[in-house]
Amino acid sequence: MDIYHQTLLKYWGYSQFRELQHDIITSVGSGNDTLGLMPTGGGKSLTFQVPAMAHEGLCLVVTPLIALMKDQVSNLKSRGIKALSIHSGMTGDEISVALNNCVYGGVKFLYLSPERLITDLFVSKLPHLNINLLAIDEAHCISQWGYDFRPSYLKVAEVRELIPHVPVLALTATATPQVVDDIQERLLFKTKNVFQKSFGRSNLAYVVRPCDDKEKQLVSILQKIPGSAVVYVRSRKRTKEISELINANGISATFFHAGLSHAAKDARQKAWAENQTRVMVATNAFGMGIDKPDVRVVVHINAPDTLEAYFQEAGRAGRDGQKAYAVLLWYTADANRLVNSLATSYPEKEVVKRVYEALGNFFQVAMGFGFEQVFDFDMAKFCHAYKFNVMVAFNSLKLLQRAGYLEFTEDADLPSKVMFLMHQSELDRFQSQYAHLDEFIKLILRSYTGLFSDYVVVNEEVLAKRSGKTKQEVYELLTRLAKSKVIKFIPQKRTPLIRFTQAREDLKHVILSNEVYQSRKDACEMRLHAVVAYATTNHTCRSKQLLTYFGQKQSSACGVCDVCIDIKKKGLSGGVFDEIERELISQVKKRTLSYDQLLDSLPYAASDVEKVFRWLQEYERIEEDEAGKIIWLK
């Protein structure tokens, strides 16, 4: 066993790596800048976690996804590995404590958003951090050609210059050839170095199902295809409606979206993962970090805005290698809806600027002030006060974020946190003096560890259950201890957040550059048309369309998508076609023969054999060599 296999076995309990993982780990472990393209569910996180654990020092992980940070930090801690995250919603004191623990506390992983990379506080701590690896998740975000370009990612290159000897590992699930080159250039790769797993999924049948009644079609699909399923919809409201429809037809279902409480998300996700609930109806908020292998079908009631998003979401089916389906339900009006969504996604520049100005007024931030300030954000109240359409305001905030003026975090689910301020001797005296608080303090100390060196997440419901008190009483006790300077207490918060990443600018200085606005809008329009083309093209294999989009131009047809099946059965019944196909392949595998010899060996009409033979040629299963002999290719 090499050091990486030993590490994998010790901390994760696996004896072998998945395809490509070991190659990427060996590359980056040797100090090489590396780009890994691995499909959803391919085990990307292990490619930086294993080499970081195998070598001395701290791994810095850059990701824009707060939920992913929380999940991975929690997972690492459950394995006895010290990990922390820094994100929007944390107080300055929390961030300072976290960074000090990275310097002195033996932390192995620090997750942070790209915006946090360039703060004065982080840059001042950087020379004191023994960094062994810089991992960039969702690396397509650094490319202006990527489907989710974020200018804050460009700052990663500045950080690289401060730690020039640290290798970088960039990871993404989907990237076109243009994006692959752009990622390496912008991350200052010394030499190009890409490890790419084929995006092909031979066990996954892609299907586009034209229909007028999507709900009826959905129920029919779920009735015909047994097993675990995911159904994607565009809005939170629809998750509940479609879930109720499925349940009403005798199939167990639940729903998931970003607006649910953390406890509700966990409970529903657990029930689905353990097959207590068969169908998960969700917005695109569901799926990240989920590695359920036995999903038999993923259905999209509405097409996503990009083939990148569709490919990732559809790819959550059939990870166990068994037959699975990715079905897109398509109505003729969907094409217009997709193209028309461009105007909503890219409000006029003047509208975006008005939203920025209204935001400053809403929070009463004076011109030239507000830098690094974080505000709870009530979208409904804001839109009502300034007469904005909710979706226009939402997309304007996203554009302002891309332009670097603010950070907009939707529905931040921030749990309660506690850190003890008193040292043990002081705490003992306090407990003696205030006996009525003694038992509650002991309960906290029994329930959680690390309370004297870091902010620790506490569950008020658990504390209430263990103490025999109500959740409100626990909250009041924690507040009292905080007022007495025994602890620092940050109450639970579930609200969107706005953080100003620049001081408030005068409107005449607010610039939406071509890179942020027009070129992105043009690229978005091209992606929308690519989705429409995928859904409406009925003469080219679905898998081949997708793989060509991602640069695999030599891919062969899958033979199992709706287009391939339709071509396969045209002019013959499915049963007859399959029967001839089986016999033909059997003959070709048994012996070398010419086309005429093949016809003589099969008890079917020559015209029917011709159709099956041409189909097998078209989809690269067989070919004729120069001598006219038939060769079995696959």
Question: Which CATH number is correct for 3-196, 3.40.50.720, 3.10.20.600, 3.40.50.300, 3.30.70.580?
Answer: 3.40.50.300
pLDDT band at 259; cut points 50, 70, 90? confident
Kindly state the average pLDDT of the residues 195-204: 86
503: amino acid identity, one letter: A
For helices 3-12 and 46-54, what crossing angle results, to 10°?
A: 110
Match domain 204-337+525-549 to its CATH number in 3.60.15.10, 3.40.430.10, 3.40.50.300, 3.90.180.10: 3.40.50.300
pLDDT of residue 1: 65
Beta bridge partners of 630: 624
Q: The tokens of 180 are what?
A: 């692959």
CATH architecture of the region 570-632:
Orthogonal Bundle (1.10)
- Please report, in angstroms and rounded to a whole number, the separation of the first and last CA atoms in the chain: 35
Task: Please check whether residue 608 is in contact with residue 580, taking contact to mean a CB–CB distance below 8 angstroms.
Answer: yes
Grouping H, G, I as helix, E, B as strand and the rest as coil, residue 480 is helix
Q: Which fold has domain 417-491?
A: Arc Repressor Mutant, subunit A (1.10.10)
Confidence of residue 51 (pLDDT cuts 50, 70, 90): very high
Amino acid at 633: L
Question: What would the pLDDT profile of 376-388 be if each residue is shown by its tens digit?
Answer: 899 999 999 999 9
Q: Among the ranges 242-251, 253-262, 583-592, which has the highest mean pLDDT value?
A: 242-251
Please give the pLDDT value at position 540. 80
Query: β-pairing, 168-172 with 131-136?
Result: parallel
Q: What is the pLDDT of residue 482?
A: 93
Task: Give the model's pLDDT for residue 426.
Answer: 92
Q: Which pLDDT value is given to residue 77?
A: 92
pLDDT value at 612 more than 70: yes
What Rg do the C-alpha atoms of the chain give, in angstroms? Answer: 28
- The per-residue pLDDT for 215 is 96
For a pLDDT cut of 90, what percent of the chain falls above it? Answer: 57
Annotate 401-450 with three-state secondary structure: HHCCCEEEEEEEEECCEEEECCCHHHHHHHHHHCHHHHHHHHHHHHHCCC
CATH node for 347-414+496-516: 1.10.10.10
462-507 pLDDT, tens digit per residue, is 999 999 999 999 999 999 999 999 999 988 877 788 989 899 999 9
Show the tokens assigned to 581: 């196909």
Q: CB under 8 Å, gap of 24 or more: what pairs does 214-218 form? A: 214/301, 214/329, 214/331, 215/242, 215/245, 217/329, 218/242, 218/245, 218/246, 218/299, 218/301, 218/329
Crossing angle, helix 379-386 and helix 390-402, to 10 degrees?
Answer: 110
Q: Compute the distance between CA of residue 458 and CA of residue 460 in angstroms, rounded to an integer.
A: 6
Mean pLDDT taken over the chain: 89
| Averaged pLDDT, 310-335 | 92
- CA dist 402 and 408 (Å) reads 10
Residue type, 538: N
Q: CA geometry: angle at 532 spanning 527 and 534, to 5°? A: 95
Is the pLDDT reported for residue 11 higher than 80?
Answer: yes
At residue 377, the pLDDT reads: 92
Where residue 174 falls (left for φ over 0; alpha for ψ -120 to 50; beta otherwise) is beta
CB 508 within 8 A of CB 350: no
Quote the pLDDT of residue 538: 81
What size, in residues, is the chain? 634
DSSP states of 321-344: SS-EEEEEEE-TTHHHHHHHHHHH
Question: Given a cut of 90, is residue 228 above it in pLDDT?
Answer: yes
Half-sphere exposure at residue 606, Cβ-oriented, CA atoms within 13 angstroms: 5
Q: Are 205 and 560 in contact (CB under 8 A)?
A: yes
According to the model, what pLDDT value does residue 157 have? Answer: 87
**Residues 6 or more apart in contact with residue 613 via CB below 8 angstroms:** 584, 595, 598, 622
Query: How many C-beta atoms surround the C-beta of residue 9 within 10 A?
Result: 13
Residue-range domain boundaries for the chain: 3-196, 204-337+525-549, 347-414+496-516, 417-491, 570-632
pTM: 0.74
pLDDT at 41 over 80: no
Residue 627 in 3-state DSSP? Answer: coil
Dihedral angle sign, alpha carbons of residues 238, 244, 248, 254: positive
| Share above pLDDT 70 across residues of the chain, in percent, rounded to a whole number | 97
Q: What is the pLDDT of residue 136?
A: 94
Tell me which of 106-115, 403-412, 499-508 is least confident. 403-412
pLDDT > 80? residue 67: no
**Equal fold, 204-337+525-549 vs 570-632:** no
